[in-house]
């Protein structure tokens, strides 16, 4: 049976590099690019098809920042496939990022300098906004839209005899102190990205608790620091090009400067061939690149506790109910 792989945010950056690497590994897969912009998705599909002419690559329109769009996209997936073997939840945003240069300079002369480069902790703030669904945009895009997608295509993912994998692109920037269960959408603070990635980590643990017995396994990946449209929103491309020699130098001290989308996709690709039984529910699988440019995967225990993960999951179930009522009032 040909494996079905769905990737959100597949038209650029890490998502696109993952698709390219998946097809190079196994061009018998049925690959579906789940993207919000059909033109960008079609361009990506054509680029992938030109290097893998015999591959089965299709597109589905899903804007994870809109529940209506997720419901419509999920309906199309259910019409098209009987099951989904690997669902990569990769789409993500970091809107209006700002660097705190004071924290950067202070960090440079502190003993936490390596960890600062690896996680970006305390260096960035973002400006969030409210979507048409009435949710915080970063939370809806990075977490809730994907959560609804899983719920909608649950029958395609849950099979005890043939388990499926859900793989989240999280981040080393996920931080417990940026997240609060009383403000899990992060409407109050300025670190919505960090908060959303921590929520991803908590949600993945909860999904394993609720779905492993039904044949669905969730894992979390950190791709490292990668040059993509997301990082070009933090500093312009010419600046990153200019400091590239410094980045290679920093790579001698931290393996998290993966830099290219190809390298960043390492752990995502690695998980593709893992047996579900061998996965650790609480591990974050990191793409790593050594000073000499060699790629490998390292797993670290996540800073999550079961109670917080349960509480968040219950809050998401409640929010799901509310949103579904709002969108389809006849179901009241």
Ligand X SMILES: NC(=O)C1=CN([C@@H]2O[C@H](COP(=O)(O)OP(=O)(O)OC[C@H]3O[C@@H](n4cnc5c(N)ncnc54)[C@H](OP(=O)(O)O)[C@@H]3O)[C@@H](O)[C@H]2O)C=CC1
> Where in the sequence numbering do the catalytic residues fall?
193
Which secondary-structure segment (H or E) carries 119? Answer: helix 113-119
- Residue given tokens 């609720």 in the structure block: 210
Rounded distance, CA 140 to CA 258, Å?
Answer: 27
Q: Which of 70, 220, 225, 288 binds ligand LHIR3OJJ (CB under 6 A)?
A: 225
Q: Is 139 in the site for ligand LHIR3OJJ (CB under 6 A)?
A: no
**119 vs 164, beta carbon nearer ligand LHIR3OJJ:** 119
119 binds ligand X (CB under 6 A): no
Closest CB to ligand X among residues 11, 208: 11
Q: Which of 131, 164, 165, 171 binds ligand X (CB under 6 A)?
A: 171
SS3 for 56? strand
Task: Choose the one of ligand X, ligand LHIR3OJJ, none that binds residue 120, judging by a C-beta under 5 to 8 angstroms depending on kind.
Answer: ligand LHIR3OJJ
Sequence-ordered list of residues with C-beta below 8 angstroms from that of 307, at least 6 positions apart, any chain:
none
Residue 283 in contact with residue 297, Cβ under 8 Å?
no
C-alpha of 325 from chain center: 27
Establish if 173 lies at the interface with ligand LHIR3OJJ (CB under 6 A): yes
242 exposed, middle or buried (CB, 10 Å; 0-12, 13-18, 19+)?
exposed
What is the DSSP track for 77-97? HHHH-S--SEEEE------S-
Residue 308 touches ligand LHIR3OJJ, criterion: CB under 6 A? no
Which residues contribute to the site for ligand X (CB under 6 A)?
Answer: 8-9, 11-15, 35-37, 40, 62-65, 90-93, 141, 169, 171, 223, 225-226, 228-231
Which residues contribute to the site for ligand LHIR3OJJ (CB under 6 A)?
Answer: 99, 104, 117, 119-120, 123-124, 171-173, 225, 231, 234-235, 243, 246-247, 250
């Amino acid at each position: 049976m040909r494996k079905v792989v769905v990737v959100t945010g597949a038209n650029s950056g890490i998502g696109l590099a993952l698709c390219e690497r998946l097809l190079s590994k196994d061009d018998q897969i049925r690959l579906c690019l789940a993207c919000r912009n059909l033109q960008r998705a079609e361009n990506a599909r054509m680029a992938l098809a030109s290097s893998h002419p015999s591959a089965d690559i299709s597109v589905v329109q899903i804007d994870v920042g809109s529940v209506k769009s997720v419901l419509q996209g999920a309906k199309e997936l259910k019409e098209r496939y009987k099951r989904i073997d690997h669902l990569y939840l990769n789409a993500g945003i970091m809107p209006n990022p700002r660097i705190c240069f004071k924290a950067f300079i202070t960090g440079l002369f502190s003993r936490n300098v390596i960890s600062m480069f690896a996680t970006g902790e305390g260096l960035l703030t973002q400006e969030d906004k409210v979507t048409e669904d009435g949710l915080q945009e970063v939370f809806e895009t990075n977490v809730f839209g994907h959560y609804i997608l899983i719920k909608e295509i649950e029958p395609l993912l849950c099979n005890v005899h043939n388990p499926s994998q859900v793989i989240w692109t999280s981040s080393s920037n996920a931080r417990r102190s940026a997240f609060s269960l009383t403000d899990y959408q992060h409407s109050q603070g300025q670190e919505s990205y960090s908060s959303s990635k921590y929520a991803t980590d908590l949600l993945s643990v909860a999904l394993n608790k609720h779905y492993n017995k039904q044949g669905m396994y969730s894992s979390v990946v950190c791709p490292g620091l990668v040059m993509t449209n997301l990082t070009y929103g933090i500093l312009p491309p010419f600046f990153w090009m200019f400091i590239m020699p410094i980045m290679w130098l920093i790579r001698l001290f931290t393996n998290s400067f993966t830099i290219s989308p190809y390298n960043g996709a390492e752990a995502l690709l690695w998980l593709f061939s893992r047996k579900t039984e061998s996965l650790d529910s609480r591990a974050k699988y990191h793409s790593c690149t050594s000073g000499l440019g060699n790629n490998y995967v390292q797993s670290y225990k996540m800073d999550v506790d079961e109670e917080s993960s349960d509480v968040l999951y219950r809050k998401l179930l409640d929010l799901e109910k509310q949103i579904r009522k709002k969108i389809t009032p006849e179901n009241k």
